[in-house]
Structure 1
Amino acid sequence: MTRKASFIARAGEFVAVLGAARNVAAAVDAHRKPNGRDLDRLGIDAAAFNTIRF
């Protein structure tokens, strides 16, 4: 992978993590269950998250 492609890939992953964080925060704020894919992207176990009462 070239240096430019590597940078673009890392930047894309960074944006994806920010989007996942925004989605999870919005779901919790609305007292809804966050998407499992967003939790996985943030490194949060969905099964463990489901034990949280909010």
Structure 2
Amino acid sequence: MKLLLISNSTMKGEPYLDYPKHEIQKFLDKKSVTALFIPYAAVTFSYDVY
């Protein structure tokens, strides 16, 4: 099992997941995968907004 942890999804003024996109691409290694997303620290978003 591989695990990728990202401490936040956005940096101020940047699009959603823009700053970690290269790390995500390296992690996935151009493979199709099944992934589980667990929102755990959103303060300003509702669960449905994810």
Instruction: Give TM-score scaled by structure 2 length.
Output: 0.27
| Larger Rg over CA atoms | 1
Q: Tell which has more relative contact order, 1 or 2 (C-alpha 8 A, sep 6+).
A: 1
Q: Whose helix proportion is higher, 1 or 2?
A: 1
Instruction: Give TM-score scaled by structure 1 length.
Output: 0.26
